[in-house]
Structure 1
């Protein structure tokens, strides 16, 4: 029974604190998680003076375009779909300030490629498309945070709740450039699309909730939620020339983002060191920030996914694999869309002829997240739990 509880506590903390949000393509939901503070021990918290180090790797490929929840399959037929490939690595370190308080730091790196098409001047008559790629990468936005267990882990054997707060620094390049193909066949060094920029240019602060609870024998439920507030309106990097009457929307925003996840997990095997999970999750970027100005460009939207996962522990080592599959993809109206829509409709006298303006975005069908962590305990003695 003790081994079962220890392994389920491990699985609960791994599943709750593992990777949180991952980029989805043109809707640039940036990496927010990766702080896996308690996943490599036989208890779900770090003891006072204990460390944990680890890394998470994520990959996705976005290529399916949506306006709202309606897919645009013609982009594939015409061959002009935007494809984004991203590899991301988070290096994490956590420290137990006490048995209830953990301090966390994440050093993220990304490598992104955007494949897109262009009709060259010489090909206008034949409407021939030329596909080319641009890239951006490097250090992303560094994150620091602190988490607090509401109930003393020594007394909470069947479940617990953690609350946390953090800060995201503007360390990632938010105006990276690359050589892009032009219609005359030459290349020009230009600012990359917001979707592949390593950073967003804003200093943000986050709040989060995490928890788990034993439901029946070796079946546990878990949930976590996260919101990043980015008060800065824009980072000053230019998207494109402004539309008439929409000055301001031609610079990139520093958007808020959010994430929520809940599911079930169970441990199996003789040592109960192997855990399986199944969760539902939603993540996205809102059209408007909670604080700060709104006049800047973003591609807001969200995905809803089902996320199977597996976690394996061997001593102080923990390995994990999560593969969320996005079954709902929604590119919602942005503030720029609504402003453009209102501007156009203000010139139309008959409401029956009003136009609806809503941009599109490319989404990934799924992402892959691999994690590893190692706990540096104060002693080699494995903690034990008193089971009532």
Structure 2
């Protein structure tokens, strides 16, 4: 079956304080900025109340809860949309809610450690035989990590850069099941599609960086980049696909790059608005190890408006990446079988984050 679902937004890994967090659902990517880089964007690397390292000593723990929601239904092969899927009614609708809990402990003004716990709830609706209406919910792969700023915050030059690393733990469900109704009307339990699996059951690691710099007109430029490395080849979870080389699920790398500008909204204390671009995806071949098995490689490029509001030790942020280019690339089995599978993308995503420093 060529049908595929590739989700627009970031999934089980997080880069400690890198500003990027991956909620790892196999074949599906979700990413967004955490409150750590938002705080820098909002206040230029200083706390809103004007405090510095003394604030960190008295309030070192930050807890963030994120919610991301998106529905993917537009099928692409390469950069070409398969509009016939909509006309013939053979498209697959995939809806996901991703909940992430991040706990960050500031050890010093420069160094911090954190832990990231993703939870996925998703449904996949296939209306043509065998009809499937599958729902899966569970914990994804957790991450523990560390980050260090090059300059001791707050940086006097109005800019700074941080590097981070994290260890991904195989804590997530990677063989979740759902129900399918066959042509004869019988209902049976099936292994859920790769896009609905909260984890991949494998060890991995993340590397990332984030930076910000005060620019003209009280505007702050920001950048972040992160990569989830999964050296394992496949996880032996069956896909029940007939194509050669697609019988089990691949364990994939994931990446995210973001950049843009942010500015404090005049005359509104604690409110900032930002606008930027982002590129995220799954590579055809991983950086380390083999890349066999079934995967839906590709990328999505989006524009991302966002607003952030900070009040005392709490922060609320809302962003909505809108896709401007979607590309489902050919996988390793696709290339070997001289074909090109498709994937379904969403038009946009909603990302809501709430954090509080204790």
Q: Same fold (TM over 0.5)?
A: yes
TM-score, structure 2 length as denominator? Answer: 0.87
Asked if structure 1 preserves the Cα contact closer than 8 Å seen for 2:18 and 2:209, the reply is: no
Supply the distance in 2 between the matched residues of 1:362 and 1:188 (Cα, whole angstroms): 25
- Measured after TM superposition, the shift of residue 39 of structure 1 is 5.2
The gaps in structure 1 that reach 5 residues or longer are: 1-15, 121-130, 342-356, 377-388
Residue 91 of structure 2 corresponds to 81
- CA deviation profile, 1:16-48 (whole Å, cap 9, x unmatched): 95555578x99411x466653465643698724
Supply the distance in 1 between the matched residues of 2:109 and 2:157 (Cα, whole angstroms): 14
- Measured after TM superposition, the shift of residue 153 of structure 1 is 1.1
Residue 141 of structure 1 corresponds to 141
- Measured after TM superposition, the shift of residue 297 of structure 1 is 1.1
TM-score, structure 1 length as denominator? Answer: 0.80
Question: Aligned ranges for residues 15-164 of structure 1 at < 5 Å?
Answer: 18=19, 20=21, 27-29=27-29, 31=30, 35-37=34-36, 41-42=47-48, 47-48=56-57, 50-119=60-129, 132-164=132-164
Aligned residues: 331
Residue 249 of structure 1 corresponds to 246
Aligned Cα root-mean-square deviation (Å): 2.2
Question: Aligned ranges for residues 202-241 of structure 1 at < 5 Å?
Answer: 202-241=202-241
- Measured after TM superposition, the shift of residue 155 of structure 1 is 3.8
Residue 340 of structure 1 corresponds to 337
- CA deviation profile, 1:126-167 (whole Å, cap 9, x unmatched): xxxxx5411111111111111100011144350100100001
Q: Of the candidates 305, 312, 316, which is equivalent to residue 315 of structure 1?
A: 312
SS in 2 for 1:118: coil
Q: Of the candidates 319, 329, 341, which is equivalent to residue 359 of structure 1?
A: 341
Supply the distance in 2 between the matched residues of 1:195 and 1:210 (Cα, whole angstroms): 28
- Measured after TM superposition, the shift of residue 102 of structure 1 is 1.0
Supply the distance in 1 between the matched residues of 2:321 and 2:141 (Cα, whole angstroms): 23
The answer to which of 63-72 and 137-146 deviates more is 137-146
1:375 and 2:348 equivalent?
no
- Measured after TM superposition, the shift of residue 214 of structure 1 is 0.7
SS in 2 for 1:136: strand
Supply the distance in 1 between the matched residues of 2:36 and 2:197 (Cα, whole angstroms): 27
Q: Kindly tell me: are residues 329 and 44 of structure 1, through their superposed partners in 2, closer, same or farther at Cα, counting changes over 3 Å?
A: farther
**Looking at CA atoms only, which structure, 1 or 2, has the larger radius of gyration?**
1
Asked if structure 1 preserves the Cα contact closer than 8 Å seen for 2:246 and 2:294, the reply is: yes
Q: Kindly tell me: are residues 44 and 239 of structure 1, through their superposed partners in 2, closer, same or farther at Cα, counting changes over 3 Å?
A: farther
Whichever structure has more strand as a proportion of its residues is 2
Q: Kindly tell me: are residues 22 and 94 of structure 1, through their superposed partners in 2, closer, same or farther at Cα, counting changes over 3 Å?
A: closer
Supply the distance in 1 between the matched residues of 2:104 and 2:276 (Cα, whole angstroms): 25
- Measured after TM superposition, the shift of residue 65 of structure 1 is 0.3
SS in 1 for 2:118: strand
